[in-house]
């Protein structure tokens, strides 16, 4: 979590300095987005700027942001959701869930986004952390024969949050990335945490 924060904040700091003409060129942000943002067209017939770009963009897009407000919201969310994930599965497990969610977010964005705008931000991975926490909560509550309403309620409010943000941002919200990240995070959570897998199997065997 600390490493992700340092990288994301460092990248945005450099771009902010360039935006205000304190270092380099004001065109630096656009250039960095050209090379590091997620461009769905690169998965079809677009010509990449370098050979590995169609693969590496699944990593680099989550390390870039669209400004200080975007960065601040995502970093606060990272530390809010990341702590419980690390507590449950450790740093390695957190990394696997985070990386899987980020990749899943990019994949669903590429599949559903029309037209093909560039996309940056860690929110796909962050929705994956939320998906992971809800997945574990679901399995634990199901196994203990507790009500699942809290899980459904939290999922409902995540959907409503996306709708409100999409409206407030005039449709300029990568909800496809959030959806993909959430689904991938849910799946990764059940793969990474043996306790969740064991509980799920036990629950399936219950008559």
Residues known to be catalytic: 123, 178
Q: Please, what is the end-to-end C-alpha distance for the chain in angstroms?
A: 41
Residue 168: count other Cβ atoms within 10 Å of its Cβ. Answer: 10
Beta strands in the chain, from DSSP E residues, in sequence order: none
Contact 174, 123 (CB under 8 A): yes
CB 150 within 8 A of CB 137: yes
- 14, 23 contact by CB (below 8 A): yes
């Amino acid at each position: 979590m600390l490493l992700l924060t340092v990288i994301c904040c460092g990248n945005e700091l450099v771009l902010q300095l360039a935006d205000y003409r304190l270092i380099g060129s004001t065109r630096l942000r656009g250039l960095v987005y050209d090379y590091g943002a997620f461009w769905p067209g690169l998965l079809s017939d677009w010509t990449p700027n370098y050979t590995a770009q169609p693969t590496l963009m699944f990593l680099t897009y989550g390390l870039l942001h669209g400004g200080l407000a975007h960065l601040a919201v995502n970093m606060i969310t990272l530390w809010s959701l990341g702590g419980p994930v690390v507590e449950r599965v450790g740093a390695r497990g957190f990394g696997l869930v985070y990386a899987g969610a980020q990749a899943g977010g990019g994949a669903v964005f590429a599949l559903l986004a029309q037209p093909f705008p560039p996309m940056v931000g860690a929110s796909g991975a962050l929705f994956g952390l939320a998906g992971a926490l809800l997945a574990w909560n679901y399995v634990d509550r199901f196994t203990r024969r507790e009500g699942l309403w809290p899980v459904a309620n939290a999922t409902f409010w995540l959907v409503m949050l996306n709708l409100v943000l999409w409206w407030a941002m005039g449709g300029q919200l990568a909800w496809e990335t959030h959806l993909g990240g959430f689904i991938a995070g849910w799946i990764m959570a059940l793969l990474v945490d043996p306790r969740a897998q064991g509980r799920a199997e036990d629950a399936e065997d219950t008559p």
